[in-house]
Structure 1
Amino acid sequence: MAGAVPVELTPENYQEVTRRPGVCVVDCWAPWCAPCHEFTPLFTAAAARFPAITFARLDTEAQEALAEPLGIEAMPLVIAFKDGLEVHRASGVMSADALDVLLGRLAAVDVAEEKRRAANRRLTEAGKPPPGVPKGATWDAGDAEWTFGPKDSKGRQHGTWKFWRADGTLCNECVMKQGTPHGVFKRFHEDGSVSQEGTFEQGQLHGPRTWYASEHFTSERMHENGVSERVRKTVMLYDQGEVRQVLHFDGTGQRVIPTTGEPYPVRPAHLPEDAELREDLDQWARVSLNAEGERHGLVRFWDRQGQLLWEAEYVDGLRHGHYRSRAVDTYADFRVHFDEGQAEGNLAAGVWSLLDAQRQVVLTRDLGLAQDEEALERSPVFSNLPRTAEAWREFARQARAEKRYREALLATARACATAMDLQPLTEWLEQLTLPRTRQSAHALAMSVVQEAGERWAPMADCLMRGGEAATLLRAYAVLLDQTDRPRAALDFIHAALLLAPERKAYLFTRGLILLNLGQPEQVQHDAEQLATVEPDTARFLSTYARALFPRFDFWAGQEAPRCTYDGLPEGPQQPLESIQQVVRKYATRIQLLRAELLQRFKPGASLPWLPPDLSGLLPAGPVKLEQLELEFGDEQVEIDETLDTGRGLADLVLVMRSDWSALTWLLWACGEKTFRMPTRLSPPADYGQGAGQASQRLWQSRDRRLRGGDGSAAGEGFSFEGVPLGELHPNLVSIAERQYAETQAMFYWLNDSDHVSPWQSNLRGS
């Protein structure tokens, strides 16, 4: 019944409800869709406000047969029917006001007109211009428009050109001059009213460009990016392609705030006329843009009362030139109310001044040269090669003499970390950087790390502007570790810990770096210290260390394998010669990995975590690892047995772990209990359980990663490195998944004599 609680659609009532005379709106939702649950009470409440409309809801998961023909791509989705014809769709969570606007427009929908437009769209799909579109018009698939107009002698658009939508409605009319827009243009809503109008000069917008809202459904865009439905007209003022001002008006012609539609506040009298209110900041702003929409020229921001907050000169989107800002309670000297200086490409440079309330200089500091992203990224200060503390101090002295203060400070941090002596770093920070309050320094550093923690220059610039050094040095440690420079990373995290020894959380960062340096014993020591303040993080670090550096002994058969699958294989189907060759390939891969890892450490270094030497399985030396493509019926299958040894230590160890698991289970499957080349096939009695276990544990691991469960019924779970799968951190589940995927691929190969190699691409699916 219209106006009652929304009807739940089922196969039995769907046709009757959606084809009723009048308007029917359907809320398409799913139980797992959080935005859908947010929208439900709004939709239900609207039924009371619009008693003439039938409201219905479609559970797309429970009623898949009804949902599939509707072609639903996003939810929540409101589909509107009128007299049984679909006339509109709107996706996403709408506000109550926006929903009311949508429902109010449905009464004015002309069903006959909608049918005519639908017929026109079918003509367009058939390549035929619909009625109203000239026969000589051509279809532009890129813009999805019919186009028609005169051309000059060179075939360029010249004169008044018109454009139509696929449904035959006129959408654009524009004056062209030798292929370039030049003159008045207008766009139109489907009902024929003007949606936009403005003027081009030699291809650039110039003067006012005005948008008009429609009281009917339209494909023309206006109410986007949070613009309220109350806005009925928007005027954007252009100067040769650059936006100078944007004005929004309601239906009475009163200027309004775009996001709310409320009356625009009175601008403080002393501000320029083109200063606009930024509702998101509650600040006034004067921003000039270039043709690409980037800040260009003088940009100024004031608070609501009109006091200047900051101003800066921009060149094509980057701060370049003079900068000044209000800085009360920002700097260590309480007298400071303002700071000012120069910027080059968004980076502070040269002499900066701190000023009191009367704009008298309290302090000046030379921030040196602005070193951009490219210069810092290639700087030796981030080299992974170790240096002595004195070598780093000499580098720092040279950089300081050349006003490369950013490199000077970073090199001093490495020197202090190497010598475990903090004093030189604290002295240089006091001498070279702007002296902020502790709270301001921390807030600045955190904001820059969050916004630009994967870039070299912004963090160094933040250091010069007084950002907290410990936070920034830790961020550099993370970035260096992620770019496979763990020795450099270790210096920076040590410097950060010297500056902030109370921050035990930094031990987690150091632990990850130490893992990339192959030092699991020290990682376990850090995990013990971390456990006093962050026990969950400490458990993750400890488990990760065990997963990366396990005890490489004969893993297979240490406990009886088990699984709950049926139809398990009874024994290998590959011939002994093929098995022996694959054993050699696993051994070759592991030996290559061992050799690569050994090269990364000093000769004679003790690496107790390395797997044992498997050269006994390769009496004739390493075997060739293949790369080829094969056809299996209609399927193209790739085989890639090769290794990429240029990756980080952790990645290499994880590959080795997976290969080790597959090799030991392969030997076990032949009846071996140690690393010896099989000379006969004598599979154990629980062979099928071993093969099934690999597949079941792979499925359980993927279930844990994707859905958060442990993929098993009671009593069917397993532990990984001493941790039950259901308690294993999601970031560590992928290690188990990778190991069992490799072991499963080996068993898939072993159990089918048609397969050529465990490294076939078609063995690494489900």
Structure 2
Amino acid sequence: MAGAPVELTPDNYEEITQRGGVCVVDFWAPWCAPCRAFAPIFEAAASRFPDITFAKLDTEAHESLSEPLDIESIPTLIAFKDGVEVHRVSGALPAAALDALLGKLEAVDVEVLKRRAANRKRTEAGTLPAGVPKGATWDAGEAEWSFGPTDPKGRQHGTWKFWRADGTLCNECIMKHGTPQGVFKRFHESGEVSQEGTFDKGQLHGPRTWFASEHFTTERMHENGVSEKVKKTVMLYDQGEVRQVMHFDSTGQRVVPTTGEPYPTRPAHLPEGAELREDLDQWALVSLNADGERHGLVRFWDRHGLLLWEAEYENGYRQGFYHSRAADTYADFRVHFEEGQAQTDFAVGEWSLLDAQRQVVLTRDLGLAPDEKTLERSEVFSNLARSAEGWREFARKARAEKRYREALLATARACATSMDVQPLVEGLEQLTLPRTKPSAHALAVSVVEEAGQLWAPMADCLMRGGEASTLLRAYAVLLDQTARPRAALDFLHAAMLLTPERKPYLFTRGLILLNLGLADQVRQDAEHLATVEPDTARFLGTYARALFPKFDFWPAQEAPRCTYDGLPDAPQQPLESVQQVVRKYATRLQAMRAELLQRFKPGAPVSWLPPDLSALLGAGPVKLEQFEMEFGDDTVEIDETLDLSQGLADLTLVIRGDWSALTWLLWACGEKTLRMPTRLAPPADFGQGAGQASQRLWQSRDRRIRGGDGSKPGEGFQFEGVPLGDLHPNLVTIAERQYAETQAMFYWLNDSDHVSPWQSNLRGS
């Protein structure tokens, strides 16, 4: 079997993993992208290690085998030797790291591992493992045993030692009245030193050195892309602040950490502390505080030693002077450098663009930079309507106070309201740094990707010349996500006025319009979008139908079908309970209908709301309850209440689920219209209806999680006119939610022990 991985099943699992020799098992799942990426690496290693048995286990198909092993993430690789688990690691390993791991397996002493396992069981039982001295105490937070002398006040004082749960020594440190002081050492499980360094009054000071081991160890070394060729790492500290990091191979030669190749020669004119940033291919001189944050002057050079930028930092934020090369960045070709001041990472005050001789080409005042919370609360992001003149007045006041970011954003809203973009164009020209179009676009895209959920960084990007259209669209998305769709629409319209050629912005507008309940306008945008992005247009159209469906008697749309066996024949709840639940669905739907009507101007046509259900309520709304009850050995929560503060789209999805459950409940009683049932006369295909809800819920979940049977194009049940296999993954959750509510209703209906469809235990599977 060497040379190709074996597929494990319940029939061969014990025989393969418990035989003599080494066996490595890849625990994976078909839906796991990292698993699929790791598979060819694992298979290739099998051919290089013919003496090792390689095996794979599908955790979804064989949950009974994987669950007892407490696998928390996949892929997970577990190594067995002579039937004993000797190592496990989670995550997709690079080929080099996998080879290094496999190369160590033959040297594993199974008897030693058995002793350590026995010690761990003693620790779990609260007893001392072998090798740990009497009097040692267990620290659950640190997961270590500790022992050593104390001073008269009970503080650690003198040499203290620490052991792992398996009884192996992991740390030895000199303490002085409760504070580390002097030399410390950490150890691999093998007893080799894994770290050593010195504390000075509780702060690391001087070299802190890591040593690799050829044996298996839980001590950290080769993480975050560090090559297995690195055998020693030295980090130089100055009273808790990291000054330099160096990596060395087995010969003692300094190497690049990610490749293990020889470290390049530093340009002679650079400071001695400058280190190569391999990911950037740049030299960097970075000082850090005790928390590992940039603090002080930071400088970066290219590979040849040409200064790229420098900035002053304070506890992780740019604070003070900033200077950078800027050739081919700004609209004026003469500009080669930019410099100015920063405050908590944001550009403030006077900034200058300089030519190659450091002469000023342009100076611009970038004003004051509000912090994140202040800007988020600004009126410029208010969801309340305001006239164009009102926004212009806001902009004038903000500009007078040097709040230029808010001034530009208010001007954008004024332009969207008046549909006149010229004042915004002029404001951008007067207040922001004038970048080239490619530079402006690239800067805006990068900031949106990194900080598109934050308010202040995007406003700062606007002042630094980032493309306004991209940033305003990002603000529209953020406002829509934070339940401010009217404000979102203003910002998006401003973006569209700046770049009318960008048809994909119609998609963003469609999503915002959906949150405003403007379904007809969404359909129009979908039609226009179809000429350039037909798939996106189809998604938008289907999403609109999902949020604003036709609220008729849904069971009449199709005959129920189900392939399950053992289906129920008739409801088990009494008529009185059914009538009361009908009233509760009607009460919920009426409450949501009234709430949504309040969000529109009186008399505004809202054609997509569900019909008035007051005829089902007779004496009026009934009480919606929230309580707990004992159900078997478990405590079950019942919550029939509503959160009416949700956004429009979220409320419409609740309506959709309730409407489906209500109409199918009436159908189950023999009704064909929206009327209160007076008797229980289930249709002949009652069981098919109950089974269909469960089967479609399972199919929806399978489609979402794994792309299962219903994911094949053109196949699966129809959802708003689209086969499940063609449904966009983001829309599958809507179908899943609908059928979860319908299934919960049927679960309640078919078991007289249940008291409400809103029981927590009816929404599991």
Distance (Å, rounded) in 1 between the aligned partners of 2:71 and 2:664? 47
**Could you list the per-position Cα deviations for residues 497-548 of structure 1 after superposition, in whole angstroms to 9, with x for gaps in the alignment?**
1011111100000001111111111100000000001001101111111111
Q: CA deviation at 1:120?
A: 4.3
Aligned residue number for residue 39 of structure 2:
37
How far the C-alpha of 1:411 sits from its partner, in A, is: 0.4
Partner of 1:133: 132
Q: In structure 2, do the counterparts of structure 1 residues 595 and 125 end up closer, same or farther at CA, with 3 Å as the change threshold?
A: closer
Q: Distance in 1 between matches of 2:126 and 2:640?
A: 51
Kept in 2: contact 1:385–1:487 (CA 8 A): yes
Farther off after superposition, 38-47 or 501-510: 38-47
CA deviation map 1:215-261 (0-9, x unaligned): 33333222221112222221111111000111112222221111111
Distance 1:281 1:125 in 2: 46
Whether 1:26 aligns to 2:24 is yes
Aligned in 2, Cα 1:452/1:31: closer, same or farther, shift over 3 Å? Answer: closer
CA shift at 1:86, angstroms? 4.9
Structural mapping, 1:195-344, within 5 Å: 195-344=194-343
| Aligned pairs for 1:6-25 within 5 A | 20=20, 24-25=22-23
Task: Determine the structure 1 residue equivalent to 2:405.
Answer: 406
Residues 615/301 of structure 1: CA separation in 2 closer, same or farther (3 Å cut): same
> 1:26, 1:114 → 2: CA distance?
17
Equivalence map 1:617-628=2 (5 Å): 617-628=616-627
Q: Find the counterpart in structure 1 of residue 362 from structure 2.
A: 363
* 2:423 counterpart SS class: helix
> 1:714: Cα distance to partner?
12
Q: Distance in 2 between matches of 1:333 and 1:177?
A: 62
* 1:390 aligned residue: 389
**Deviation larger for 590-599 or 716-725:** 716-725
Provide the secondary structure at the position in 2 that maps to 1:390. Answer: helix
Encode CA deviations 1:526-582: one digit per residue, 9 max, x unaligned.
000000010011011111111111222233324433333344444333333333222
Maintained 8 Å contact 1:256/1:264:
yes
Cα deviations across residues 27-66 of structure 1 (Å, max 9, x unaligned)?
4344733144132243223226xxxx44443546688787
- Confirm or deny: 8 A CA contact 2:714 2:725 kept in the other structure: no
- The one-letter code of the counterpart of 2:600 is F
Displacement, 1:730? 1.8
User: Alignment partner of 1:556: what SS?
Assistant: helix
Whether contact under 8 Å (2:714, 2:723) holds in the other structure is no
Residue 738 of structure 2 corresponds to: 739
The whole-number CA distance in structure 2 between the counterparts of 1:455 and 1:631 is 45
Q: Any conservation in 2 of the 1:627–1:640 contact (CA below 8 Å)?
A: yes
* 1:385 aligned counterpart, secondary structure: coil
- Note the alpha carbon deviations across 1:166-202, whole angstroms, 9 max, x for none: 3433322211000000111122233333222111111
The 1:421/1:740 distance shift into structure 2, 3 A limit, reads: same
Deviation at 1:757, TM superposition (A): 2.2
SS of aligned partner of 2:619: coil
Matched, 1:155 2:154: yes
The two structures have a TM-score, normalised by structure 1, of 0.93
Deviates more, 1:546-555 or 1:458-467: 546-555
Q: What is residue 730 of structure 1 aligned with on the other side?
A: 729
**Is residue 437 from structure 1 mapped to residue 436 from structure 2 by the alignment?**
yes
Q: 1:212 deviation in Å?
A: 2.0
The AA in structure 2 aligned to 1:287 is V
TM-score after normalising by structure 2? 0.93
Contact 1:342-1:349 at 8 Å conserved across structures? yes
> What displacement does 1:729 show?
1.5
Matched residue pairs, number? 759
Partner in structure 1 of residue 488 of structure 2: 489
> Partner of 1:47 in structure 2?
49
**Cα deviation 1:251-284 (Å, max 9, x = unaligned):** 2222111111111111111111101000010000
The whole-number CA distance in structure 2 between the counterparts of 1:427 and 1:641 is: 54
* Alpha-carbon displacement from aligned partner over 1:436-486 (angstroms, at most 9, x marks no partner): 000000000000000000110000000000000000000000000010001
Change (3 A) 1:472 1:695: same
Q: Distance in 1 between matches of 2:763 and 2:359?
A: 70
The 3 A distance-change label for structure 1 pair 419 and 90 is closer
CA distance in 1 between partners of 2:100 and 2:568 (Å): 64
Q: Does 1:143 align with 2:149?
A: no
Tell me the distance in 2 between the aligned counterparts of 1:722 and 1:159.
76
Range that drifts further, 261-270 or 708-717: 708-717
Work out the CA distance in 1 between the residues paired with 2:105 and 2:560.
65
Change in Cα spacing, 1:568 to 1:293, as seen in structure 2 (3 Å) is same
* 2:261 counterpart letter in structure 1: E
**Is the contact made by 1:311 and 1:323 (CA closer than 8 Å) also made in structure 2?**
yes
Query: For 1:207 and 1:238, how far apart are their aligned partners in 2?
Result: 5
Percent identity between the two aligned chains = 77
CA contact 1:236–1:245 (8 Å) conserved in 2: yes
Distance change (3 Å), C-alpha of 1:329 and 1:125: same
Q: Name the CA distance, whole Å, in 2 between partners of 1:399 and 1:712.
A: 53
What SS does structure 2 have at the residue aligned with 1:557?
helix
2 CA distance for matches of 1:324 and 1:666? Answer: 69
Residue 555 of structure 1 corresponds to 554
The whole-number CA distance in structure 2 between the counterparts of 1:712 and 1:329 is: 48
CA shift for structure 1 position 701: 2.5
When residues 120 and 709 of structure 1 are mapped into structure 2, their CA distance, relative to the original with a 3 A threshold, is closer
More displaced 10-residue stretch of structure 1: 389-398 or 690-699: 690-699
Instruction: Map 1:340-355; keep pairs closer than 5 Å.
Output: 340-355=339-354
1: CA distance between counterparts of 2:610 and 2:84?
69
Cα distance between partner residues in 2 of 1:16 and 1:611: 60
| CA distance in structure 2 between the aligned counterparts of 1:612 and 1:9, rounded to whole angstroms | 56
Look up the equivalent residue of 1:169 and give its one-letter code: T
Question: Once the 2 structures are TM-superposed, how far is the Cα of residue 5 of structure 1 from its aligned partner?
Answer: 6.3
- Cα 1:404–1:193, aligned 2, differ >3 Å: closer, same or farther? same
Q: Which residue matches 1:57?
A: 55
Q: Which residue does the alignment assign to 1:765? A: 764
Measured against aligned partners, the alpha-carbon deviations of 1:273-324 in whole angstroms (never above 9, x if no partner) come to 1010000100000111111111111111110011111111111111111111
Q: Specify the alignment match of 2:639 in structure 1.
A: 640
Contact 2:712 2:725 in 1 (8 A): no
- Cα distance, 1:122 vs structure 2: 4.7
Relative to structure 1, is the Cα distance of residues 520 and 12 closer, same or farther in structure 2, using a 3 angstrom cutoff? closer
Q: What is the identity, as a one-letter code, of the residue corresponding to 1:388? A: S
Contact preservation (8 Å) 1:638, 1:760:
yes
CA shift, 1:98, in A, is: 3.6
Structure index of larger Rg: 1
Question: 1:133-177 CA distances to partner (integer Å, 9 max, x unpaired)?
Answer: 322222333323222111000000001112223343332221100
What is the aligned-residue RMSD (CA, Å)?
2.7
> Does structure 2 conserve the Cα–Cα contact (< 8 Å) formed by 1:35 and 1:76?
no
Moved more, 582-591 or 365-374: 582-591
What's the counterpart of residue 455 of structure 1? Answer: 454
- 1:322-349 deviation per Cα after TM superposition (whole angstroms, max 9, x unaligned): 1111111000000101000111111110
Q: 1:220 to 1:628 in 2, by over 3 A?
A: closer
Q: Match for residue 689 of structure 1? A: 688
Equivalent pair of 2:711/2:726 in contact (CA under 8 Å): no
Amino acid at match of 2:218: S
Q: Which residue of 2 aligns with 1:186?
A: 185
Maintained 8 Å contact 1:749/1:756: yes
Q: Within 2, Cα distance between the matches of 1:192 and 1:444? A: 51
Provide structure 1 residue ranges, at least 5 long, that are not aligned to the other structure.
none
- How far, CA to CA, are the matches of 2:682 and 2:314 in structure 1? 73
Q: Could you tell me how far apart the structure 2 residues matched to 1:348 and 1:643 are? A: 45
**Aligned mates of 1:7, 1:617 — CA distance in 2:** 62
Residue 649 of structure 1 corresponds to which residue in structure 2?
648
2:186 corresponds to which letter in structure 1?
A: R
CA distance in 1 between partners of 2:19 and 2:555 (Å): 64
Distance 1:290 1:572, change over 3 A: same
Instruction: Check whether the contact 1:186–1:198 (CA below 8 A) recurs between aligned residues.
Output: yes
**Shift of residue 720, structure 1, vs aligned partner:** 1.7
Larger displacement relative to structure 2 (178-187 or 419-428): 178-187
